[in-house]
Chain A
Amino acid sequence: MNAENAERFRLGSVAQRWLLPAVVFLGVGALWEGVSRSGAVPEYLLPSPSAVLLRAVELRSSLGGDLLTTALESFLGFLLGSGLGIALGVWFAKSRVAERSLMPYAIALKAVPIVAVAPLLVIWFGYGLMTKVLVASLISFFPCVVSTTQGLRDVDTRALDLMYSVAATDWQVFRWLRWPGALEHVFSALRIAVVFSVIGAVVAEFAGANEGLGFRILVASYRIDTVTMFVYIGLTAVLGMVLFGGVVLLERLAVPWSAALRSGAFLEREE
């Protein structure tokens, strides 16, 4: 095969990015359907994809409402958690005293399992939206703190020398060097945080709710209605992916240079 033909067969990277996961999805789906149909696994343990899809269609009128509820809880929780996390990260980067005194508590907060904390928060704050937002924010704030602090500190010392050589103030260094340089780190944390926030919202719903994806999963679980559980679990996954994709898109807008840096283009000195 000569070079020209080889070019024609090579897919563009965009097509690759969509095609490959789609192939895996369809392949696994087909395999799963086959296994279910063969009767090797009882339906109450693993329902077939077709059964799940059918149930989703049956539930279509109420799906939207529950999805929106959980989406709102996750999104607001993510905003609050990441906002707080970034703010704390900025403070920690600036003040080692603050970091040393408060970081252990941030870690402790992160270490406590959210499933244990959520019921407590429900007792304190009730069964409304705020509790879900709080739980989601609790779970999403820690990665942001760590990454922001690290990103702000992790600055090229030569760049620092540069700023110093033109007698830049600390604020100028933060504004033009540390913060833009930290954005990559911040976004990698945001990508994690946004997915965590969905988990937080669902866990909070388990602890006390009367609507939302988590609530539906709980009720379906009592009814041993695995098919319905899978519908809502699937939706949770979709929600997570959509929010994740949103952050990735935002990153592309806010940090256009990170793609170039990651591909190493910046470091190559080819002539």
Chain B
Amino acid sequence: MKRLGAVGYARRPLWTVSVILALILILGAGCAPRPASEVSLRLKWILYAGWAGELVALDQGLWAEEGVAVDIKPGGFELDPIKLVAAGSDQIGVAGADQILLAREKGIPLVAFAVQYQEVPVGFVALKESGIERPTDFVGKRVGVKYGTDVEPIYRALMASVGVSTDDLEEVPVKFDISPLYEGLVDVYPGYLTSDLLIPGEMGYEVNTIRASDYGVSVYGNVYFCTEAFLESHRDLIVRFVRGTAEGWNRALKMAPEEVAALAVAANDGLDIEHETDVAAALQPYVMPEGFSFGQMSEEGWRALYSMLRDRGIIETDFDWTSAYTLDVLAEAGL
């Protein structure tokens, strides 16, 4: 077999052109339009145990039972479900409810049809020796703030609801990295109680945890959404998707965390099984608290989120936020 490098392939124009054409054809084939019952689902973050419902649905063929083929695509730092679904690269996305409202404010025609996390699992963690146990203890301390994320407005709403002025503490910019906490750069670190905030405990640090909803700040977390156009043209598909997803979550929350963690690690081998087990064990109060069924949405819930964002100035203009979601899909799915 002739080796590529052996012949100066620049001198074999016909061969080079053939290879390039072949590549174009192959790539083009990959871009062929999807068959009607296939959807790509773009998640907000990388594959991990926090997507327990999706992992179970895929693993147990729950979507297949509904006649839907779901191609799960993980998100990440530069992969934004909002932009990808709006642009048409993906059909269904999972993103923060706050992001849906922000998108609608800018006129992006996205609509949420089911809630994934009833309560966004935002919390704060401090080392036990700091003595910080509640939000009022933040006064005079260095508080990490994740500017430009969904955690920031919740932090501000929390401070407002307990009557602490941010002038009375020192805000320190932090990113998705918990080391400032134990490097002593911050006294309080904000994050997800189902994700990064579990890490200090796993590392053996003794920590105090503060849950935002304990102090009255509780809003929707991730939601499922698609474009208005797609909902109109593929309504039935969406309904079947929701049914499969609901079953996935119902089963996932009844499973042992170790099993969910195993699914996660099987899907993404960069994960640590111990951490994923902790994640899986932490999910239920946020995804489906007592009294809630999967996906449940209400006008009150969306209003609460809208108000919080509007009060914080994150949303700058009044707009019709009721257009950001629809309750019909859940109704049709029998949920």
- A interface list, Cβ under 8 A from B: 42-44, 119, 122-123, 126-127, 207-210, 215, 218-219, 221-226
Contact of A225 among B106, B149, B173 (CB under 8 A): B106
0/1 interface trace, chain B 98-120, chain A, CB 8 Å (1 if under): 01001101111000000000000
State A223–B145 Cα separation when bound (angstroms).
Answer: 16
State A37–B179 Cα separation when bound (angstroms).
Answer: 48
State A223–B180 Cα separation when bound (angstroms).
Answer: 26
Residues of A within 8 A of B171 (CB): 210
0/1 interface trace, chain B 147-160, chain A, CB 8 Å (1 if under): 11110000000000
Residues of B within 8 A of A226 (CB): 106
Contact of A209 among B173, B180, B183 (CB under 8 A): B173
**Is B265 part of the contact surface with A, judged by Cβ < 8 Å?**
no
Q: Are A44 and B147 in contact (CB under 8 A)?
A: no
Q: A218-B147, A218-B148, A223-B102 are in contact. Are A210 and B173 (CB under 8 A)?
A: yes
Q: Are A44 and B106 in contact (CB under 8 A)?
A: yes
**Is B172 part of the contact surface with A, judged by Cβ < 8 Å?**
yes
Residues of B within 8 A of A42 (CB): 107-108
Known: A210-B147, A224-B106, A226-B106. 11 other contacts (CB 8 A): A119-B177, A123-B177, A127-B172, A208-B175, A210-B171, A218-B147, A222-B102, A222-B148, A222-B149, A224-B82, A224-B105
**Tier of interface size on chain B:** 20 to 34
The total of Cβ contacts below 8 Å across the A-B interface reads: 55
- Min CB distance B248 to A, Å, is 29
**Is B58 part of the contact surface with A, judged by Cβ < 8 Å?**
no
Residues of A within 8 A of B148 (CB): 215, 218-219, 221-222
17 contacts between A and B (CB under 8 A): A43-B106, A43-B107, A44-B107, A123-B177, A123-B180, A127-B173, A127-B185, A208-B173, A208-B175, A215-B147, A215-B148, A215-B173, A218-B147, A223-B314, A224-B99, A224-B106, A224-B108
Interface of B (DSSP majority class): loop
**Is B273 part of the contact surface with A, judged by Cβ < 8 Å?**
no
Residues of B within 8 A of A222 (CB): 102, 148-150
0/1 interface trace, chain B 255-270, chain A, CB 8 Å (1 if under): 0000000000000000
- B interface list, Cβ under 8 A from A: 82, 99, 102-103, 105-108, 145, 147-150, 171-175, 177, 179-180, 183, 185, 314, 316
State A123–B176 Cα separation when bound (angstroms).
Answer: 11
Q: Are A207 and B107 in contact (CB under 8 A)?
A: no
CB nearest neighbor in B for A127 = B173
State A42–B88 Cα separation when bound (angstroms).
Answer: 14
State A226–B39 Cα separation when bound (angstroms).
Answer: 28
- Min CB distance A72 to B, Å, is 17
The 3 A-B pairs with the shortest beta carbon distances in the complex, nearest first, are A44-B106, A222-B148, A219-B148
